[in-house]
Structure formats: C-alpha cells, structure tokens
Structure 1
Amino acid sequence: MSGPALYVLYRGPLTSCNYDCPYCPFAKRVDPPELLRADRAALHRFADWVAATIDRRLSILFTPWGEGLTRSWYRETITRLSHLPHVDRVAIQTNLAARTGWLADADRDTAALWTTYHPGQVGRDRFLARCRELDALGVRYSVGVVGLPAHLDEARALRALLPPHVYLWVNAADGHVYTADEEAAWTALDPRFGDSVRPHPSRGLPCHAGETAISVLGDGTVRRCHFVDGAIGNLYDGTWRAALKPRTCPNVACDCHIGYVHLKPLGLRDVYRDGLMERVVHRAEEFTRGSIYTH
C-alpha cells in the first residue's frame, strides 16, 4: 500500500431513529421503505469501494443522522469491512439500543463503537448491560453524554459503574452557556470537556480534512468535511484522489468533535491515536483513575 492512511466519514440517506431525544432534530423520524432501500444500496456500494481500494490504509466512521445498528445492513457491513486487511478501524456512532451479539462475527481488533447514553430514552441498567456485553466480546467503545444540567447526576452514576478503561466523553449542549462551576463539574468526568465547551476559531487554520480525512455522502459525493459545503470530487469516479491536498479551514469556528478533531494546531490526533474514529483517548484509563466517580 503506497498511499497515506485515509480517514473516511460516511453518511448515507438514513435519518430514522428509535429515540426521541429533545436535543436532536432527527428524533423518532421514520424513513419510508424507498429511502431505506436507497440507504442500503448506497451502503453496499460504499462497502464495495472500500474493499476495492487497497492502495492505502482506511479508517471508517459511520455518522448516520439516525440509528444505523437497528438496520441489518449496517451490522453486516461493519462485520465485512472489519475483516479487510487494509482497514485499520471501522466504527459507528450509536445509541447502543440494538443487540450486540453480531459483533462476535466481526474482527474485534478493527470494529469499534462510539456510543451515547441518552437519559430519558433508556434506563441506566439496560445501557450498562449493553456495555457489559461489549466488554465480554472484547469490543473497543467509548460512552458519551450530552452535557445538559439534568444529565449530570446520571453521568456521574454512569462513570462510577463503567469500567475504568472505558472513556466517558461529554459533548457541550448546543445553546447552553456553562458557568465556571458547571464546566468544572463536567471536566471532572471528562478531562477533554474543554475541547467541546467552546467553539474553536478555525478560519485559516491548517486542517487534515480534505488532505487525509474526507466526508462521503451516499451518492459518493466527497466533501473535505461534514461542515464545509461543496464537493471536492466523487468517490466512484476517482476524482477524490487528485483533490486531496493540504487545506485551511474556511469556517469562522468549528464546534463539533468530528470536525475539530482534524484541526492540526489542536494536535488531537496525538490524543486519540488509534482510537480516533471511536472517540477513545489514548490510554483512557489514565483519565479516570484519579476520579472520585470510579472508586
């Protein structure tokens, strides 16, 4: 493999979700059968591209607007891609509501999950039972919560019951301004909370997006990142290859993890290393060992 490693974020047409989170615009959306068929076909086409693109190492993160793992084609695709020798990581963002036994057929050195706990949508005991299933299977995963004030007690209880090696991340809630005390409380749970709590000024800063990271839509449109409109090529006609080059960010600020994690001055690739796609910090146990919530 002669080309550099490439991080690929894929988002197909799927928007349906089984949860009704008040902070999510896609909550409880139901996709019509024709959209589900289109999503399945698009995902299979993407998986075939991954299988055929053997000239560089690939890391893949599925970022559906909805919940992918309730759909068989996402489970089957992750399993398939996990066994490809040129795929370093295949991960998906998920609410962890779906069954986990299918991961027994995946290569657990490659497959991983970026999970989110949504209080009010699922009981803590049920969510933790899913986490224990992942631990028993030897699957790498992170657990996250949205940093709403009403979630703080649940997040603390969750941290106390998760194994120390499981990284608990916290996303700042959109529109919420954190007091110093609130920020300190969330930082006690996630030492990286400061990355999320304030938007990162980004205009003119060098970014890996569009150079060694790309965003792909279901029709194969390649963008430099989910948050910069405009195509730089298409996955299926090969035009993406010539489009890859060093770039600076055109946006005033970047406030989403899957965007700012690629800003070069932040150095977050060194923080996450091989856990970049599933949002697992390197040596995550060191971030929880001293917390009062793990004792």
Structure 2
Amino acid sequence: MNHLTVLYRGPLASCDYDCPYCPFAKRRDSPEQLRADRAALERFTAWAADYREGGLSVLFTPWGEGLVRSWYRRAMVDLSHAPHVRRVAIQTNLSCRTDWLADADPDTLALWVTYHPGQVDPRRFLDRCGELTALGIRYSVGVVGEPDHLEPARRLRAELPAGTYLWINAADGRDYTDAEAARWTELDPLFHYSRHPHPSGGRACRTGDTVVSVDGEGTVRRCHFVRPPLGNLYDGSYRAELRPRPCPLPVCDCHIGYVHLETLPLYDVFTDGVLERIPHGM
C-alpha cells in the first residue's frame, strides 16, 4: 500500500458550545468516558506512529470538541513530526488556546475550523485565526449555511485574509432556493457541492480502499456512514478487505464522505488539502 488516509472518531461526544443545530451541544462526557476516550486515542496514536506500510494521513472527526482536551493536542503535535505522516488534521471550533501549535510541524499539521455565530465573540475568533496565521498553520474556516448566519459569514469573509478559504456547509434538511444558494456561493464558490446530496450508489469511491474510518475500538469501516466493518485496525484484519468497491448507499451528503467519490473532481480541487478542506492554490 502506498498511502492510507484514516478518519478517526473515538468515543468523545462532549462540546463546549450549544449550537441549536447540533445534537452534541453542551453535552458532557463523564470522567469515565473521558478516560476511555483518552486511552482509545493514545492507542490509535501509537499505531499511527508505528505505521510502516507506506504514507499515512489522519483526520480527527470527533463528535465533540477535541482540542480542549490535552490528549488531542498532544496527538496532533506528535503525529505532525512522524516522518511517514503526510497530514494530520482535525475538525475544531477553535475555542482552545493556540500556543501549543508552536511545537507542531506546520508543514504537516492543519486545522478544519468551524465558526459558530452566537457561540463566540467574532473578534475573539478572528484573533485566534490571526494566531494561526502567525504560527504558519494551514487552516480553513467554515460556517453552516443557516439563514441567520449569512451576515456573520459576510463579515467574517471581509475580515479573514484573502488567501484563507471560507467554506459553507449546507444546513441539514434545508432546500435552498437558487437566490439563497447564489448568496452563499458569493462567499464559497464551491457551495454547489454542498447544496445537494450526491448520487453515490454503485459509484466508485476511494473509501474502503485508500481511505477508511476507525472508531475508538479500532473497528475499521470504509467510511463513517457505511456501518459493516472491514476488520480491526490493531489485529491487522482490515488489510485483506482493502480494495476498490462501489458505494452501497444511494446518496452521500457529507463533505467528509463525498469528497472521496471518484465521480466528483474534488481530489483535483483540493489536491493535498483534502483533509483540511483547503483548495489547491490557497
């Protein structure tokens, strides 16, 4: 195998924000759940650090906010220095401090940042983004396309550096009119990829071949949205199941899934920025 991309999601499900569109808003994990998450992440990080079957990229996609936990920050830093790791990235609301990033390799570590209007002071958020820029950290910033987020997103676009990509995620269940979609497209020229679910059934997808998802138990699946397991990461049983295969689901409506569809040109759009959602040239 030349290169494997892993989307890791452990048991962490707590978040410090209470966004009304998120089922994990202000959810708290018990001390036992946090200890289990830490142990699971440390086990995965040890596996990733010892991976010797080719190059490796990792995207952490926790249900909750990972970077407020020391073990996620440490995992990001440690993996960023592993010579075989091409990219380590995480989805985050950027509520944590940023000084720890000075210990990371900025050529390897990247952040997929979501701005949640109403949850954080805009100036504070922009200052954090400025700190990332000063540290040389690659990052994208995005907003969920709720109607009341349009004006905050416009203000955010005006304040962010011109070279920082601002992505817009279509809100779950929202059917945008052409006029509404046009307003979001002014901010994100790639919004049309998020606006509608993509037909995927029977179509070629990199998941299950060069891209897999892994949970806290080490169960390997082709992606977060296809539940039958391929095996386990830690006993190596997943290896024999890695091969090209069509998607078994009729549609794919999440970026971390459809970005890997071979019927879409998104690998050409993002090239080496697929995991942190940064288009080529930005």
Q: TM-score range by the shorter chain?
A: over 0.9
Gap regions ≥5 residues in structure 2: none
Offset of 1:248 from its aligned partner? 0.3
Q: Does 2:95 match 1:91?
A: no
Aligned to 1:72: 70
> Who is 2:147 aligned against?
149
Instruction: Give the superposition deviation at 1:57.
Output: 0.4
In structure 2, C-alpha distance between the alignment counterparts of 1:221 and 1:36, rounded to whole Å: 19
Amino acid at match of 2:141: V
Q: CA RMSD, aligned part only? A: 0.6
Write out aligned runs for 1:35-74 (5 A): 35-74=33-72
Instruction: Report the identity percentage.
Output: 66
2:175 aligned partner: 177
Residue of structure 2 equivalent to 1:226:
224
Is structure 2 residue 270 aligned with structure 1 residue 276? no
What secondary structure sits across from 1:224 in the alignment? Answer: strand
- Cα distance in 1 for residues equivalent to 2:95 and 2:133: 16
How many Å apart are 1:177 and its aligned residue?
1.2
Give 2:243's aligned residue. Answer: 245
**Separation (CA, whole Å) in 2 of partners of 1:54 and 1:112:** 22
Give how far 1:119 is off: 0.2
Residue of structure 1 aligned with 2:137, choices 122, 136, 139: 139
Q: What stretches of structure 1 move > 3 A for 4+ residues in a row?
A: none
Q: Which residue of structure 1 aligns with residue 164 of structure 2? A: 166
Describe the SS at the equivalent of 1:47: helix
Show the counterpart of 2:214. Answer: 216
Cα deviation, 1:188-243, whole Å, max 9, x if unaligned, reads 10011000000001100000000000000000000000000110010000011111
Q: Which residue of 2 aligns with 1:106?
A: 104
Aligned-partner Cα distance in 2 for 1:228–1:274? 25
Q: 2:22 aligns with which of 20, 24, 30?
A: 24
Which residue pairs with 1:290 in the alignment?
none
Q: Distance between the aligned counterparts of 1:98 and 1:231, measured in 2?
A: 33
| SS of alignment partner, residue 36 of structure 2 | helix
| Pairs aligned (count) | 282
Name the residue aligned to 1:201: 199
Q: Deviations over 1:57-106 (max 9, x none)?
A: 01100000000000000000100000000000000000000001100000
Amino acid at match of 1:78: M
> Match of 1:245, SS?
coil
Any idea what SS the aligned residue of 1:182 has?
helix
Alpha-carbon shift at residue 55 of structure 1 (Å): 2.0
Name the CA distance, whole Å, in 1 between partners of 2:189 and 2:265.
16
* TM-score, with structure 1 as normaliser: 0.95
Per the alignment, residue 253 of structure 2 pairs with 255
Amino acid at match of 2:13: T
SS of the residue corresponding to residue 59 of structure 2 reads strand
Cα shift at 1:54: 1.8
Paired residue type of 2:202: G
Pairwise CA distance, 1:283: 1.2
Distance 2:165 2:39 in 1: 34
| TM-score (norm. length: structure 2) | 0.99
Indicate the residue corresponding to 1:121 in structure 2.
119
